[in-house]
Structure 1
């Protein structure tokens, strides 16, 4: 963070250790690792950040971003004000960030629920997150983090506790398990019910797979390239993709062939490569387009 010198960071780590919340694992901690079953409910491939829900100072806080590269924990002032914590507990800092506060953090579910204390720096800045958990908390929990598995693991006695990425899925069509949409977990219960009812009433307007779009007449919707009549046809050289990208391309091509949206053409006059781009959807992965 701005204004944090190496001396300040070392002093901060020493203070954490004095408080009994420093890093270091115990000799009797269970072995922690990630198995294929840890990917249950996670759509891969993805580039999602790890955002969890945690109990902090007896408040259930959503939108908590886990940042393994941060040397401090951060609580944004808007969230701090809503928690109504006594400002008398604030401590001044000898940096450009004026205040910090020591709070209790609880992760996981019983019987593997663990609580530790850590310092949070208060930052008055806009953010889509309420808090950022950095190295101080991860050391306090002796946590193992996997953004790929969207999960944190930590030991509690001889048990392994977990904190999963927060997700709230609504199923739009009860008879089709794939018809899920992700909504903000912090939405009020009444609003979630109203949203679910609205989606259920209008489920016929959604297209969940390419096959849901069959039967559209070209007179209604057709794609044409606005090419100059005298333009010279272009044939691109074949572009090579890695194994994961080739798998995505094959799967998407088969979906469109099955739906009848595309057809195979031999010796085309025009030839262009597929372009894969990282998807910005909640499910992550790749979106793909044909380069023209």
Structure 2
């Protein structure tokens, strides 16, 4: 398990002389002519006092000693499994997560850098890259550019955010509440750590067999809001995708509709293959080729509802802003679902649940809803 990270391009410099001066500046600031408070050199940004209160403990399992694992937007990707590490002198992005971003190789600085110390073990970085990282959600969010060292080694995390980024955003951390706050021009921003993801990462890091987490490298999801994280079932240990045990061939079920195809194995005996194909063609109506083929199930047969406790009130969320691409994806999804009567319009003037756009691995978007603290409001039903 990574405990501390030292080395890298810090403001202390690389040479022994600059390192000694860096230490002396803290020990003898006035002897060296360095003022302790130098805020007058830059325009002062007025920000309200940052406080933590007892009510913000809600939603955290106690007692705990979990690390702070958050989601952050890095270079236009919402990245999960981001470790906030005040013991790291640099920010680190691991090679597998970096490759998923598809960043042009020309942006990577491959000049030799001093090795990093991972708890005593030296690791040579692949290179470094300057990327924007955004914490919080609009309008209370902040973005800084930070140098990330690209490290190729097994880990349970995608990114480690070190002191370089945290000091730039004036971050205030409460490990007890798994909560990080920071000033923004629109007030205090906040990001809540995901306790489930933290414990999953911790358990994975202790496994000696494998550190790889399939399908979680670039898990794209909504950025955390000030009230808590978005429930993400993918924060649990994901299941690896299974692969076919033999070669497959494509079979067309209808000559009139050649786009309706299925794939079957190639190891079937000729007689069995013919019988199987005829069976599929005779029952092709059981396949769903489009949303229009799924008219739904009558409520008289079965229905589902959320057993929300009457003692809980809906969480009134602030309306989030998205870019043009996400808005267009939302419009298409809503129009499609309304056309086939999967959803209907309803007006709730007192509360709002934001839509969350999740990037699909094969391209496009998946639309979800952010129902904050829904699990707390729906107690377990032993007799559903």
TM-score of the two chains, using structure 2 as the length reference: 0.39
Aligned match of 1:129: 157
Aligned match of 1:140: 168
Determine whether 1:61 maps to 2:61: no
2:148 pairs with one of 114, 120, 137: 120
Structure 1 residues 182, 106: closer, same or farther in 2, change over 3 A?
closer
Q: In 1, distance between residues paired with 2:142 and 2:84?
A: 17
- Consecutive unaligned residues in structure 2, runs of 5 or more: 23-41, 116-124, 198-230, 242-384
- Matched residue SS, 2:13: helix
Determine whether 1:7 maps to 2:13: yes
Q: In 2, distance between residues paired with 1:168 and 1:48?
A: 9
Do the aligned residues in 1 keep the contact of 2:69 with 2:81 (CA within 8 Å)? yes
Structure 1 residues 25, 83: closer, same or farther in 2, change over 3 A?
farther
Aligned match of 1:82: 100
Q: In 2, distance between residues paired with 1:122 and 1:128?
A: 15
Q: How many residues align?
A: 167
2:113 pairs with one of 78, 81, 94: 94
- Matched residue SS, 1:106: strand
- Matched residue SS, 2:86: coil
Do the aligned residues in 1 keep the contact of 2:130 with 2:147 (CA within 8 Å)? yes
Structure 1 residues 187, 113: closer, same or farther in 2, change over 3 A?
farther
- Matched residue SS, 1:113: strand
Q: In 2, distance between residues paired with 1:129 and 1:49?
A: 12
Task: For residue 115 of structure 1, report the CA deviation from its aligned partner.
Answer: 1.2
- Matched residue SS, 1:138: helix
Q: In 2, distance between residues paired with 1:186 and 1:53?
A: 15
Alpha-carbon displacement from aligned partner over 1:194-221 (angstroms, at most 9, x marks no partner): xxxxxxxxxxxxxxxxxxxxxxxxxxxx
- Consecutive unaligned residues in structure 1, runs of 5 or more: 14-23, 170-180, 192-292
2:69 pairs with one of 51, 76, 84: 51
Structure 1 residues 121, 4: closer, same or farther in 2, change over 3 A?
closer
Aligned match of 2:235: 185
Structure 1 residues 25, 183: closer, same or farther in 2, change over 3 A?
farther
Alpha-carbon displacement from aligned partner over 1:190-246 (angstroms, at most 9, x marks no partner): x9xxxxxxxxxxxxxxxxxxxxxxxxxxxxxxxxxxxxxxxxxxxxxxxxxxxxxxx
Matches within 5 A, 1:1-292: 1=5, 4=8, 7-8=13-14, 26-91=44-109, 92-96=111-115, 97-166=125-194, 183-185=233-235
Q: In 1, distance between residues paired with 2:128 and 2:152?
A: 12
Q: CA RMSD in A?
A: 3.1
Structure 1 residues 126, 70: closer, same or farther in 2, change over 3 A?
same
